[in-house]
Amino acid sequence: MITPIDLFNKYIDIFVPTFINYPKEVDGKYTFTLTETDPAAKLKKVVISDVPQNTILLDMQKYSKLNMGEKMKDIINDESGFFKCCDYLLVSERNSKLYMIFIEMKSSNIDKPKIISQFKGASCFMVYCNAIIERFYNIPDKISDLQTSYALLSWGNMNKKPTVRKNKYRKPLSPENYIHRKAGKTNLEKVPFEWFISYE
């Protein structure tokens, strides 16, 4: 079975360099800055702090801009939003575990069915990427042991602990059961990486 660090490096191999962002190091600590380009958005920036060194950030907005639903319309009926996508994806290797964290940023108009579709669409994209690694890199066993979660960051006063829809004691392992955090009205607060995996 492929190890977490080997799988992490395979993601770096298959994606083009412009799709991958690496953490910024300051005084031995690593951070990512998530940005929202919509001029009408109130939540313009979120800083994720204390990120493990072996972490990459994929800007899934670049995938959204490909407009795959329109390109595939002669093959796949996209009425259910199969090609919707969340804003970002964190892939991180820490303590021999591989974390895959899907992130959506919202300023207002939190449409839960739409958010769930965005998480589902992004997860389908990564299922395809995992299939590429399994088949083209001759991985004998299916990729498993991924610690997958889904997080919504919204405009508002930051809450100290993450909340999970439906049942706060369930691991957020599905798009329907995502973590929701308010990311701060001033855009100055930092969201520690640990918050995204605090359900463990």
The domain spans of the chain are 4-196
What's the pLDDT tens digit per position in 138-154?
A: 876 666 667 899 999 98
Residue with tokens 């973590």: 179
pLDDT at 53 over 80: yes
Q: 141: how many CB neighbours lie within 10 A of its CB?
A: 8
What's the pLDDT tens digit per position in 88-116?
A: 999 999 988 899 999 999 887 789 999 99
Q: Which long-range contacts (CB under 8 A, 24 or more apart) does 157-161 make?
A: 157/182, 157/184, 157/185, 158/182, 158/183, 158/184, 158/189, 158/191, 161/198
Q: What is the mean pLDDT of residues 39-59?
A: 90
What's the pLDDT tens digit per position in 114-172?
A: 999 999 999 999 989 988 988 898 876 666 667 899 999 988 765 555 554 444 444 55
CA 37/CA 49 separation, integer angstroms: 21
Q: What is the mean pLDDT of residues 18-45?
A: 89
Q: Is the pTM of this model over 0.85?
A: yes
The answer to whether the CB of 88 falls within 8 A of the CB of 35 is no
Average pLDDT, the chain: 83
CA 120/CA 174 separation, integer angstroms: 8
What's the pLDDT at 167? 42
Q: How many CA atoms lie within 13 A of 146 on its CB side?
A: 21
Which among 90, 97, 92 has a CA at the least distance from the CA of 53?
92
96: which 2 tokens?
């021999």
User: What burial class does residue 89 get, using C-beta atoms within 10 Å of its C-beta: 0-12 exposed, 13-18 middle, 19+ buried?
Assistant: buried
What's the pLDDT at 161? 55
**Alpha helical stretches, state H, the chain:** 4-14, 61-64, 68-71, 112-136, 193-196
| Residue 152: strand pairing partners | 104, 180
Cα end-to-end distance, the chain, whole Å: 23
What's the pLDDT at 139? 77
